[in-house]
């Protein structure tokens, strides 16, 4: 990557952002990824977390396989939390939260790679911007069963509050998002949706992604037509 990702390109990457690790998937995660990419996933985050999560070589092996799939599809590959791993693999970016390494330090370490930061308030979002975030992840928008230590449900109001306060950084909603909820999340100001279970636990990950991406596409086409 020669320079920082442009905000307009970042917004495209956030449209249908799949987050996953082995514990989220009832079948081989690489199968879920293959299907999701075929269905039109626009970015993928490797989030290997939880009691039964892979560690050591098996974790690195899975991380590399998913990275290879993303590379073949031309879709950015983001590593959650583990900056060392992201640098070792030469991933396209890192996502960190408020309890992880300081965003400003991560920005220095990763150069122009994509930096995503979780934010729950206007103050956290403003700090993430100062520290060099390329996008912010906002949640949980709805109740989620995929993150044990999730904060209180925020609803879509938080997205509106952030936009009304002047925050223009690319922004993705996360937490309990399903195809039926995509329009509400985008309408409130998000550029896209980040999902785990709606895709990883679907009977067909490909169809789930197609449905979510289709809802998003329709929303943005309507928005364009109304301008
Ligand atoms: C896109 C996106 N948004 C938010 C998060 C959550 O990050 P964090 O608060 O650090 O929690 P963990 O995912 O590390 O448990 C995310 N991963 N991705
Ligand atoms: C990884 C993650 N972060 C969240 C946050 O609120 O920051 S909620 C969440 C889990 C999202 O999974 P699902 O789509 O299955 O609800
Ligand atoms: Mg984290």
What letter would DSSP give residue 101? S
Q: Does the beta carbon of 147 sit less than 6 angstroms from any atom of ligand 1?
A: yes
The arrangement of secondary structure in 7-225, i.e. its CATH architecture, is Alpha-Beta Barrel (3.20)
Q: Residues lining ligand 2, judged by CB closer than 6 Å?
A: 19, 118, 137, 139-140, 144, 146-147, 150-151, 174-177, 195-198
pLDDT of residue 89: 98
SS3 for 137?
strand
CB 126 within 8 A of CB 99: no
Domain residues of the chain, as ranges?
7-225
Contacts of 89 (CB under 8 A, 6+ apart): 60, 63, 64, 67, 79
pLDDT of residue 203: 98
pLDDT of residue 2: 73
Active-site positions read 47, 118, 147
CA of 218 to the centre of ligand 1 (A): 27
pLDDT of residue 125: 98
* ipTM exceeds 0.90: yes
Q: Does the beta carbon of 100 sit less than 6 angstroms from any atom of ligand 1?
A: yes
11 annotated ligand binder: no
CB 45 within 8 A of CB 194: yes
**What are the residue ranges in the chain where pLDDT is below 70?**
1
Q: Report how far residue 46's alpha carbon sits from residue 63's, in angstroms, rounded to the nearest whole number.
A: 7
CA of 208 to the centre of ligand 2 (A): 17
pLDDT of residue 227: 84
Tell which atom from ligand 1 comes closest to the C-alpha of 19: 18
pLDDT of residue 1: 56
């Amino acid at each position: 990557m020669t320079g920082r990702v442009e905000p307009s390109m970042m917004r495209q990457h956030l449209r249908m952002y799949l987050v996953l690790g082995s514990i989220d998937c009832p079948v081989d995660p690489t199968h879920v990824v293959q299907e999701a990419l075929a269905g039109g996933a626009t970015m993928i985050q490797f989030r290997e977390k939880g009691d039964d999560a892979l560690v050591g070589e098996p974790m690195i092996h899975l991380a590399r396989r998913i990275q290879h799939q993303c590379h073949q599809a031309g879709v950015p590959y983001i590593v959650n939390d583990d900056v060392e791993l992201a640098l070792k693999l030469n991933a396209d970016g890192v996502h960190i939260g408020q309890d992880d390494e300081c965003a400003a330090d991560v920005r220095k370490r990763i150069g122009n790679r994509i930096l995503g930061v979780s934010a729950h308030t206007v103050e956290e979002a403003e700090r993430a911007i100062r520290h060099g975030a390329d996008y912010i992840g906002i949640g949980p928008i709805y109740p989620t069963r995929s993150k044990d230590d999730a904060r209180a449900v925020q609803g879509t109001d938080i997205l509106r509050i952030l936009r009304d306060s002047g925050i223009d950084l690319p922004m993705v909603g996360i937490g309990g998002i399903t195809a039926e909820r995509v329009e509400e999340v985008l309408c409130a100001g998000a550029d896209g949706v980040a999902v785990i279970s709606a895709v990883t636990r679907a009977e067909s990950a490909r169809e789930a992604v197609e449905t979510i991406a289709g809802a998003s596409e329709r929303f943005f086409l309507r928005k364009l037509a109304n301008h």
